[in-house]
Structure 1
Amino acid sequence: MSTTEVSSIAPPPAGTFRRWTARSGWLLAVAVPLWLVGGRFLTDSAGSLTPVYAATLAPALLVLSVVALAVPARRPARYPSLRAGAILVISWGCGIALGFTLPDVGEGASSVLGSWAGSGAEGAAAALSNPLGIIMLFMAVLGCVVSVRHSAQGDGSGRPRDADEDEAQGTGYFPVLDV
């Protein structure tokens, strides 16, 4: 079997991961924000902060995920780059964990983890929710930016610029950039 036949039969692992991220990413882009809000109703632990999470946190993650997945699909890259896909997976993983630990206030309200494990887990859930939320949103923004930037470069691999592109820097209306 020649080299070209092998490459056409078994796609490289990076290409497989990029396709998997793009295909399952659409499901995760909707499921994780729904879990952030809907998980509270499944465990009957919704409180007065649930509408706030539904109006701010869930839409922010949904919009960032959809942009990160949709922009490469409309460009020649077709899929988010390997780096962007890995960043998005980290963001979605933190979002799932955040859905378990996100605290709420009010009568009978708690986190999903607190309602399952008891009131002793409330402190741990509250301590974990802030770092998880920060990492989730930061990685979602980063994944969106990396996905859009890498897809603009043709094949979506995130390759570095060519020498021709470096020589063009500093010309035009901004001579201060001429280094």
Structure 2
Amino acid sequence: MSTPEVSGALAPGTHSTGAHSTVTAPPEASTFRRWTSRCGWALAVAVPLWLAVGRLLTDSAGSLTPVYAATLAPTLLVLSLVALAVPARRPSGYPSSRACGILLISWGCGIVLGFTLPDVGEGASSVLGSWAGPGFEGAAAALSNPLGIIMLFMAVLGCVVSVRHSAHGDGSGRPRDTEEDEAQGTGYFPVLDV
């Protein structure tokens, strides 16, 4: 019986850990993941700040401005920071591509929402209404609810996807295998393997 001849060269991204085994190193994060993560730290602070105090730039703040600053802005800030910070402290280093895309949608909706958030009181208006005139107040109010819902839903989804995908070595969102489960002592939970 002959044994197959094994080449001494290893494939790129692998290294030998013993006599006959190789382990694949995590691939480098894509450029999209790196840049979204780096710009994401600024967006994670700037977008909630825009939601909280954007109307002060146009002197159109009303009685709802403190409500937005105390509820909407901190919620988006916390979700964004968790979505960026958890992967940064794990081997993956960056959120997965799917999480980055979801977070970008959330931040984009947040930027547009900052223009359309309605307010009440004397001289109060949305930023869009104060810049474009009172005729745009109805359009701004009609857009603000769907934008707010999409922004918060995507922020929650992006946070969950980012944390879930970063639990794996390369942050790509691949399902865990049984060796990883046994090494962590958690067992295999098919309900959680979505």
Shorter-normalised TM-score: what interval? Answer: 0.7 to 0.9
3-state SS, counterpart of residue 30 of structure 2: helix
Residue 35 of structure 2 corresponds to residue 20 of structure 1: yes
Q: Residue 71 of structure 1 corresponds to which residue in structure 2?
A: 86
Q: Partner of 2:74 in structure 1?
A: 59
Q: TM-score, normalised by structure 1?
A: 0.84
- Runs of at least 5 residues in structure 2 that lack an aligned partner in the other structure: 1-11, 13-26, 182-186
Equivalent position of 1:125 in the other structure? 140
Give the aligned CA root-mean-square deviation in angstroms: 2.3
**Structure 1: how far apart are the matches of 2:153 and 2:97?**
18
| Aligned CA distance change for structure 1 residues 149 and 170 (closer, same or farther; 3 Å) | closer
Alpha-carbon distance, 1:160 to partner: 2.6
Largest Rg, 1 or 2: 2
- 2:86–2:163 Cα contact (<8 Å) kept: yes
C-alpha distance in 2, partners of 1:87/1:123? 28
Q: 2:60 aligns with which of 45, 54, 57?
A: 45
Matching of residues 76-155 of structure 1 within 5 Å: 76-155=91-170
Distance in 1 between the 2:96 and 2:167 partners?
Answer: 11
Give, in whole Å, the separation in 2 of the partners of 1:169 and 1:75. Answer: 21
Distance in structure 1 (CA, Å) of the matches to 2:188 and 2:56: 54
SS in 2 for 1:108: coil
Residue identity in the other structure for 1:54 = A
Secondary structure in structure 2 of the residue aligned to 1:59: helix
**8 Å contact from structure 2 (residues 178, 188) kept in 1:** no
Query: Structure 1 residues 165 and 23 mapped into 2: Cα distance closer, same or farther (>3 Å)?
Result: closer
In the TM superposition, what is the alpha-carbon distance from 1:117 to its structure 2 partner? Answer: 0.7
Name stretches of at least 5 consecutive residues in structure 1 with no aligned partner. 5-10, 172-179
**Residues 48 and 73, structure 2, Cα contact 8 Å, conserved in 1:** yes
SS at structure 2 position matched to 1:158: coil
Correspondence for 1:29 among 36, 44, 54? 44
Structure 1 residue runs of 4 or more that deviate by more than 2 Å after TM superposition? 160-166, 168-171
Q: Which one-letter code corresponds to 2:61 in the other structure?
A: A
Give identity over the alignment, percent.
83
2:116 and 2:143 in contact (8 A); partners too: yes
Aligned residues: 162
Equivalents in 1 of 2:61, 2:164: separation in Å? 39
